[in-house]
Amino acid sequence: MANVKYNIVANYLGQIWVGLIALVFIPLYIDYLGIEAYGLIALFAVMQSMFVLLDAGMTPTLNREMAKFNAGAYDAQFIRVLLHTFEMICYGLAFFVLILLWVSSSYFATQWLNVDYISTDTITNSVLIMAFIISLRLCEGIYRGSLYGLEKQVWYNLANGILATLRYVGALLVMIWISASIEAFFLWQALISLLTVLIFSIQVHRLLPKTTLPIKFSYAALIQNWKFTGGMMGITFLTMIFLQVDKVVLSRLLSLTDFGYYALAATAASVIYMIVVPATQAVYPRIVHLVSTKNFADLTELYHQLSQFIVVVISPAVMILCFFSDGVIFMWSGSAELSNHVAPLLSVLVIGTFMSSLSYIPYQIQVAEGNVGLLLRLNLIIVITFFTLIFILVPSYGAWAAAWLWIVANFSYLLVLAHFTHKNLLENEKWHWYFFDILLPLLGIVIVMLLVSLLAPLPYVSRLHWLIFLLFSSSISIVISGFLAKIIRLRIYSFLRNLRLNKH
């Protein structure tokens, strides 16, 4: 458990740093490049997410198999062969992505986007650079999955934090000192992506024991993992479509400026993932171990503990972004115009993201159990429904339809996934999870938000006043939520009691 605690701390520190530095620099990028250029950056993020689908099952498979190797299930020869096999497939897919986007770059520039100010040549050149970056990010995933499975998350987060700093700070310096152009921005991103792949690949190969036998591409290694990998490929493919289809449709129907506003709201809502993902990633190898050994007593304890922890730490942020989205955007960017366009969408999107975050733990347990068939069917139903409604409603109701559908889809997914997880793996835990792990801590925060709203500063007057108010509201919310979550409350009492005893 010591490694799990260290990994959770490392993941949180790493995610917080990467997330904060990204959020801090986004308004600066908009100042230098304009909201339309930020729309192009948002399109790049969507394209990256869609093409990383080609990696699909390889990253989670390597995460799972490296965790098993760490537990002694495989020898060094097998795990090196598996890694080499996935490397060859992944680099081949990266080359395919590079060629595909190179061929289609002019189509994006002339047919897909509704552009007012950026020239066609600039968009074409930007898409070409995006193609190179996306290819590298595709390769980066398999090494990230390997490092997580090997439980080298402290090293990963340190390295990733340094590289992220170079990525965001360097991009701003390039715009200040060299060229305030979107092409220069993407060129810097490409350079850092290349450096990232080199560093991560060297570290993974260094960590694995040396072998005397040659390492070759192995169909046998693929066949051994085909069921899990194939299922995860389908799940990842459907999940990414679900996460990005609204943005794909809106990028085609809206102007690049309006799409930039929606993408900015979605980016702000995704801050919630920065809080929940580190904990679930760090605990996943432990979940795999408990499921593999059929230790359901410890799995149940970990399940409730992690669920309450996640609700306590993400609910204050969710409610802040929902109740005071205008103040958050104004405090963050200093722009009343951005706040007016982004805040209303953010209030809705963040609720859907909260529902999505709650499904992470049941999802991790199902993956650890290998129930990819259930996840595949569930994702397929949700995606088909969401995809159909997006195309029906967005042309008439625009971004608002996409935002509200995001809530409905994630709520439906959470209810069904939680039902099957409790029915098949964690019997008699369903209502305890809903009431004590989620509803009770959340209810306390809602009451706090209603009360502190009476003290909210005036809109668009002082960023400092909003910062103080938001910090105060968040602090009170965490305290109340932690008190109402029984496991967290007992842990805090135990920590304080031990601290008092140690002083004596």
Domain map of the chain by residue range? 1-217, 270-504
In whole angstroms, give the CA distance from residue 348 to residue 340.
14
Q: Which of 395, 398, 406 is nearest to 349 (CA)?
A: 406
CA distance 109 to 118: 10
> Quick one: which of 61, 67, 52 has its CA closest to 85?
61
Q: What secondary structure does DSSP assign to 200-265, as a single string?
A: HHHHHHHHSPP-SS-----HHHHHHTHHHHHHHHHHHHHHHHHHHHHHHHHHHHS-HHHHHHHHHH
Mean of pLDDT values over 253-257: 80
Cβ atoms of residues 361 and 415 within 8 Å: no
CA distance linking residue 397 with residue 417, whole number of Å: 29
Over residues 201-222, the mean pLDDT reads 78
Whole-angstrom Cα distance, residue 49 to residue 43? 10
Burial letters for 478-504: b for 16+ Cβ neighbours within 10 Å, e otherwise?
bebbbebbebbbeeeeeeeeeeeeeee
Using CA atoms, how far apart are residues 15 and 19, in angstroms rounded to an integer? 6
- What is the maximal distance between C-alpha atoms in the chain? 74
Q: Are 444 and 308 in contact (CB under 8 A)?
A: no
CA distance 339 to 291: 46
Question: Mean pLDDT over all residues of the chain?
Answer: 83
Angle between helices 296-323 and 271-292 (to 10 degrees): 170
The answer to whether the CB of 94 falls within 8 A of the CB of 63 is no
Contact predicate 360/416, CB 8 Å: no
Cα angle 185, 198, 76 (rounded to 5 degrees) comes to 150
Model confidence band, residue 65 (pLDDT cutoffs 50, 70, 90)? confident
Q: Any idea what DSSP says for residue 117?
A: S
pLDDT tens digit string along 106-127? 887 777 777 777 888 888 888 8
> What local confidence, expressed as pLDDT, does residue 236 receive?
67
Task: Report residue 145 as tokens.
Answer: 């999955």
CA distance 90 to 139: 6
- Tens digits of residue pLDDT in 329-342: 998 888 888 888 89
Mean pLDDT confidence for 340-351: 92
Q: Average pLDDT for residues 57-78, to the nearest whole number?
A: 76
Radius of gyration of the chain (CA): 23
What are the phi and psi torsion angles at 241 (to 5°)? -60, -45
pLDDT-wise least confident of 20-24, 142-146, 217-221, 380-384? 217-221
- 220 C-beta neighbours (distance < 10 Å), count: 11
The amino acid occupying position 305 is Q
CB hemisphere CA count around 428 (13 angstroms): 4
Is the model's pLDDT at 411 over the cut of 90?
A: yes
pTM check: above 0.75: no
